[in-house]
Amino acid sequence: MPAHHQGRLEAQGHRNDLEVFFVDLIKSVAFLEAEEEATPRLSASDDERASAMADREAARLWRATRIATRIVLERAGGEAIRRLNFEIEAGGRPRLAGAPHFNVSHTGEAALIVVSKDMQVGVDLERKERRILMSDERRQRIISAAQRMGALQALSPACDTDVIVAWVRLEAAAKALGSGIGRLLTQQGVVGGSRTASAQGPGFDLEIRDLVVEGHFVAAVAAQRLPERIDVLSFPADNLDGFIRGKSLPMSGT
C-alpha cells in the first residue's frame, strides 16, 4: 500500500472542480460512527437500509461509506444537505438536492468518492487480486470495449487484473453517463447478440482515467473532461479538523 504523506495537512489554495477521496473503512469506521453520533448527517432511509442488511459487518461498512459520502458532500455543498434523502435516477445514479455532482464506489473495506462542481462524473473501485471466471471471448470483449472508449494502457485478456482494470473503466463510464452498466455493455457488444461495436455513441465523449489508489485496488474515473492531474485524497481516519473547510491529505504516488 502506498504510504500516505505524513505531517500537517496541506491547505489547497482553491477548491478543485473535481476531487477524489479514498476512504480506508477499516481505519475510519469507528471515527465515522462517532462523528455521526456527534453530528447526525444520515437520513432516516440511510439508517433503515443499513438496519435491513443481514450481514452486520457489511452493514457497518456500508453505513460508514454513506457517512463519509455525506461529509465529503458537506465539504462542497454546506450543512443544508444534512439528513436529506438521496434521489436515485433511472440508471441508478444517486443525487442529492443542493449538492454537487458526485459518485461513489464501495468494495469491502474501502470506498472511493468523487465530487464535481459542474459535470456528471463516475468512479469505480475493485480489488485487483481476484480470479475471474469468464470465457476468453467475454474477456476480450470487455477489454476491447474499454480500449475503444479511449483507455491508453494496453491490456491483456489473459491477465485477470487487466480484465478488472478494463471493467472498472467501463463501470466508471456507465456511472458518468447515468445509463447503468448493462446498457453500456449491450451497446458495446460485451453482452447481447452483437459481437462488434464501433467507436461511436454513448461513452465516446467521455474522458476515462485510471487512478492510483491503495495497492490492493484498481480504480477509474470518467467525465466529459478531466483535469490534467487528479490527486486521490485520503479521507481523514481520526478527525475532521480543516477537512470540511477544504484541507486535504494527498495519497503518495498520485
Confidence band of 6 (pLDDT split at 50, 70, 90): very low
pLDDT score recorded for residue 68 = 98
Does the pLDDT value for residue 215 go beyond 90? no
pLDDT score recorded for residue 15 = 47
pLDDT score recorded for residue 192 = 77
Mean pLDDT for the stretch of residues 195-205:
58
Confidence band of 58 (pLDDT split at 50, 70, 90): very high
> Tell me, which fold does domain 16-118 have in CATH?
Ribosomal Protein L22; Chain A (3.90.470)
Over residues 241-250, the pLDDT tens digits come to 889 877 554 5
Over residues 158-176, the pLDDT tens digits come to 999 999 999 999 999 999 9
Cell representation of residue 6: 505524513
Mean pLDDT for the stretch of residues 154-161:
93
Asked, colleague to colleague, whether 16-118 and 119-229 share their fold, the answer is yes
> Above pLDDT 90, what percent of the chain?
65
Confidence band of 14 (pLDDT split at 50, 70, 90): very low
Q: What is the mean pLDDT of the chain?
A: 86
pLDDT score recorded for residue 4 = 35
Confidence band of 223 (pLDDT split at 50, 70, 90): very high
Lowest mean pLDDT among 85-99, 194-208, 222-236: 194-208
Does the pLDDT value for residue 130 go beyond 80? yes
Do residues 231 and 15 make contact, with C-beta atoms less than 8 angstroms apart? Answer: no
Confidence band of 17 (pLDDT split at 50, 70, 90): confident
- pTM above threshold 0.85: yes
Confidence band of 148 (pLDDT split at 50, 70, 90): confident
| Rounded Cα distance, 11 and 245, in Å | 9
Map out the domains of the chain as residue ranges: 16-118, 119-229
> Above pLDDT 70, what percent of the chain?
85
Does the pLDDT value for residue 240 go beyond 80? yes
Confidence band of 154 (pLDDT split at 50, 70, 90): confident
Say whether domain 119-229 belongs to CATH 3.90.470: yes
